[in-house]
Structure 1
Amino acid sequence: MKKIKYLAFFSYLGRNYHGFQYQILEGQRFKTIQDSIQQSLNNFAKQEVFIKSSSRTDVGVNARKHPVQFVLQRDSKKKIWDLLTVQRGVNFYLRDAGDQIAINEVYQVPMEFDVRNDCLQKEYVFYIDSQVGYNWENPLLFYKQSWCIPDQIDIDRLKQAFQKYLGRHNFYLFTSPEPFQTQFDLFEKELNSFEITHYPNEHFPKIQSIRISVKGKGFLKYQVRYMVGIAVLYAQKKIDENYLNYLLNPTGFIPQDERRNLIRLKAKPEGLFLYDVQYDQKFLHSQIQDDLIVNVPEKQIQDIDLLQQKT
């Protein structure tokens, strides 16, 4: 039996999915991105396939390049699937199921490659518009995929807020902590860079379209949405610089009832895109490399499948 590891970059519109990760709540199974991808892989490869993702996007969040790794096995007497066949085959089953998901790129990677640990940098992009969900960068593809804010936003103050986010901070107040997250310093994250682009409309000066790009090694749950929402509050002068500094410099855990009274705003998910995830190019092979194919004796297949499922 031959085994080969693939890395695929998926794009999707998240409005019809309950987030990325597989979910069952009170016996009810929700439709997720992970479900759809795994089912399409199962249908294509005619085997049970387990995937691992670099990120877990929230309900309604979109992606331009969301990396997912998976291993396919093939009988030793049969030809290994080439990358284009995998891309076209999986996309066929996604389209056939009516999913708004597609593989944009697919690579062969070494077996030791890890989609999470080997990530160099992630980029998220957030779109804000003063018209209802109209995305100026790509209005047909991204229709209704932006956060509509009819009130004017001071672009200079918006940039000032993100300038304060730069570097390493404890973003405890920019997330929704889980009960098991008891180590305060684990909320520290570093924002490497940001870019804010404003698309003014010369014919309709009251219409604004804003693109916010942020880059970093990793982000907390809801962090980008809180960063955008709180920056909008600052841009609209609903909070001042001292309050923004307070949110960025928490000294410890805060009781839940006190957190509820904080002036914060979580941006709408439909404006957020996982835009890009970068890896060292040495891992990514655009053609099948025979030396990266693993030959596994039949008796070891079951043990490896169990290990793959756990990881």
Structure 2
Amino acid sequence: MEPTDKTVVVTGATGLQGRAVTRHLLDGGWQVRALTRNPDGAPAKALASTGAQIVRAEMEDISSLVDAAEGAYGLFSVQPTVGSPGTEAGFSAEDEVRWGKNIAEAARTAGIRHLVFSSVAGADRHGSEALPRNLISKWQIEQHLAKLGLPATILRPVSFMENYTGEYALQGGNLVSGIAPDVPLQIMAVNDVGFVTALAFSQPQEWIGRAMALVGDELTPVQIAAHIETAIGRPLPYAQIPIETIRAVNEQFAFAHEWLNERGYRADITAMRRIHPAAMDFRTWLERTGAAQITAFLNAQDAEGQDA
């Protein structure tokens, strides 16, 4: 694509989704204003080296967000979710909602012409059944965007394949989670959030006012473990963490696993393939990046074990 004079602001730019979105927007010829709390950190410097403009802003500080968004065409909004890998200790669902609303208010004040919000699959089922707190918080942000009348696109990704590359899922030589071994779980590569976000910004007439669940594959935990074993060439059996063990740590996280076991995301893979035929299934993701990341993490674990 030819370079454009239009700028898109990317919040959470040094996070998983933010990095993927930034990469796809830059590849598509957009100017990117990457927001971060720490412009001097290594992740921000890595983004700068790809061509993004690094801007310091805090999701807690609306004025910093307004300043960062002034003059931009679009904005990608994503907030951390309680219990997800890398979430800071003490971060609450109330924090998530407040940050999402702050970004929405800043987008309105700055005159953003297209906002893309990364929500979560299943958030739109609010009211039809009991939902985990993380889905309710995303839904509250979605509702605030609607209340403000912002020109917005809602993307609702399922669980990320990248969750299987670190301590969150790799423990004691096993693949672990609270999902029952035979329950299908919908997953996707975070790279595909970047693809669809860039697509939405490039086709505003088709995407403003639209909401879509994003999904790449559907596999049971046992199948996921088997695919990883094949890709990395070493055993990695699946071990379910009892829900009560999870509940002892976090009631809401336990409820989220119960919801996934009993109801699930229910995203439409066929619809996803229609708009993004190259969306990665799990084996493709393993071949491209996942297996190398998992192997590196397991090797580091092995080395730590030998040093202990």
Higher normalized contact order (CA 8 Å, seq sep 6+, divided by chain length): 1
If the length of structure 2 is used for normalisation, what is the TM-score?
Answer: 0.22
Structure possessing the higher radius of gyration over alpha carbons: 1
Structure number with the higher helix fraction is 2
